[in-house]
Amino acid sequence: MSAEPHSSLLDAVKGQPKQVWITAFAAVIAFMGIGLVDPILLSIAEGLKATPSEVTLLFSSYLGVQAVAMLVTGAMSARFGAKRTVVVGLTLVVVATALCAASGSIEQLIGLRAIWGLGNAFFIATALSVIVGAATGGQAGAILLYEAALGVGLAVGPLLGALLGSISWRGPFLGTSLLMLCGLVLCSIFLTGDAKEKRPKIRLLDPFRALKHGGLLRTSIGSALYTAAFFVVLAWSPFVLEWSAVAVGLIFCGWGLSVAVAGVVLAPKLAAKLGERHATVVAVFGYAVLLLIMAIPSKPVLVVGIILSGLVSGLLNTLFTGTAMSISGAPRPVASAGYNFCRWLGGAVAATVVGHLAEWFGAKQAPFVIAAVLCVLAGALLTIREKTADPHTIPAEAVLVGEEM
């Protein structure tokens, strides 16, 4: 099914029922977790006497567990129902974030971020299906509403982290726990039950079988390479800037808004003009160029580059997803699971090694150069032609939960 060509965010928000807004609210808070720690990385390093390489493991544990969990969330939702899966996920996030605020060592914090990632995977892998199932006005509008929640979360996360982090690095974790507790209570009360819900079963190995398709495998690996570059920007930029939590938070708030605008407004237009695959190739090569510019040892250049990278990331988040979901004959939930496993794993690996890259090459800008090379490799993989036609619209159901950052 193709996305509705004239659907807009304004159309999507009209007359939506309560459970759509509640799920969207919880989605905003869930996506806040990605950028929440960005402004307080330096504060965490100082407060827990941790090295930059240890602190970036906060992203690695979060994303690594989320990547693996994506393989089983579909099966769990099919067996236990969407509401139970959402509630379990939110409960894990509430507990993990509250305990993060009380952590006494970087090792404890890394472990709790892993639990946070598990809870987030259970939630975001189910939230869009809840929104689509309950929304009025069509599936395309529901997806736009979900993407808007994603963008708001990415923008608000760094801002909340900056404001509460200026008091204490523990503040953002406690604030997130309280907000997510509100979302948990609301979802528990207002989401409909799962008794009559029917979903196709997904076996554990099905996503790996789907990756036997050459086009999907290349797209998934390309997305992993791009996502690694994405998290180089997210996890390493604060250490290059060495600015206050508030300053870093404001910068990444602008970055998150750019992601939202590009993902909701610009990506469908570019895909309609060039085709999903060609648009993805253009955008990922453009990201490589931007990363090389960000490697220039100038903090003002880096700040502008971070905000502009949000626009390109917004494009690529949606375009890579559209390409992955339409390039093979695998059922979309199955293709999504295999694709997202590769994608999030790329981010986890990047966050693990980014600090070491700077040490090995003896330059703070080195990770940006390596990230640019990864994007070139991703673009090269996508230039390998497929026998299937390149669609010129993004399927409405292509942007599944967990496929957006």
- Model confidence over 181-236: pLDDT tens digits? 988 888 888 777 655 555 556 666 777 888 888 888 999 999 999 999 998 998 89
pLDDT at 238 over 60: yes
Average pLDDT of the segment spanning 122-150: 67
Residue 58: name the closest of 103, 8, 26 by CA.
103
Convert the pLDDT of each residue in 35-89 to its tens digit.
778 888 888 988 899 888 888 888 889 888 988 887 777 677 667 777 888 889 9
Q: Is residue 3 part of a domain?
A: no
Residue 281 binned pLDDT confidence (cut-offs 50, 70, 90): very high
CA 259 to each of CA 21, 165, 371: distance values in angstroms, whole numbers, following the listed order: 21, 23, 18
SS3 state of residue 49: coil
Average pLDDT of the segment spanning 176-184: 87
Q: Average model confidence (pLDDT) for the chain?
A: 81
Q: Is residue 96 part of a domain?
A: yes
Calpha distance 120→23 (Å, rounded): 13
Of residues 377 and 276, more confidence is placed in: 377
Q: How many CB atoms lie within 10 A of CB 383?
A: 12
Average pLDDT of the segment spanning 233-240: 90
Average pLDDT of the segment spanning 336-346: 84
pLDDT at 4 over 50: no
SS3 state of residue 304: helix
Number of domains composing the chain: 1
Bridge partners (DSSP) of residue 395 are 2
Residue 392 binned pLDDT confidence (cut-offs 50, 70, 90): very low
pLDDT at position 41, please? 84
* Burial of residue 135 (number of CB atoms within 10 Å: 0-12, 13-18, 19+): buried
Bridge partners (DSSP) of residue 2 are 395
Query: 404 and 147 in contact (C-beta within 8 Å)?
Result: yes
pLDDT at position 15, please? 65
> Which structural domain, as residue segments, surrounds residue 259?
9-398
Percent of the chain residues past pLDDT 70, beyond the cut: 82
Average pLDDT of the segment spanning 104-118: 93
Identify the sign of the CA torsion 234, 238, 240, 243.
positive
Helix, strand, coil % over all residues of the chain, rounded to 5: 80, 0, 20
Please spell the DSSP secondary structure of 137-186, one letter per residue: S-HHHHHHHHHHHHHHHHHHHHHHHHHHHTT-TTHHHHHHHHHHHHHHHH
pLDDT at position 260, please? 85
Of residues 339 and 138, more confidence is placed in: 339
Calpha distance 26→21 (Å, rounded): 9
Q: Is residue 403 part of a domain?
A: no
Average pLDDT of the segment spanning 262-284: 88
Q: Is residue 4 part of a domain?
A: no
pLDDT at 389 over 60: no
pLDDT at position 244, please? 87
Calpha distance 71→204 (Å, rounded): 7
pLDDT at position 132, please? 60
Q: How many CB atoms lie within 10 A of CB 167?
A: 10
Q: Is residue 83 part of a domain?
A: yes
Query: Within its chain, how far is the Cα of 32 from the centroid?
Result: 10
Of residues 358 and 34, more confidence is placed in: 358
Residue 388 sits in a domain whose CATH number is 1.20.1250.20
Residue 146: name the closest of 161, 126, 160 by CA.
126
Q: Is residue 45 part of a domain?
A: yes
**Residue matched to tokens 């801002």:** 159
Q: Is residue 185 part of a domain?
A: yes
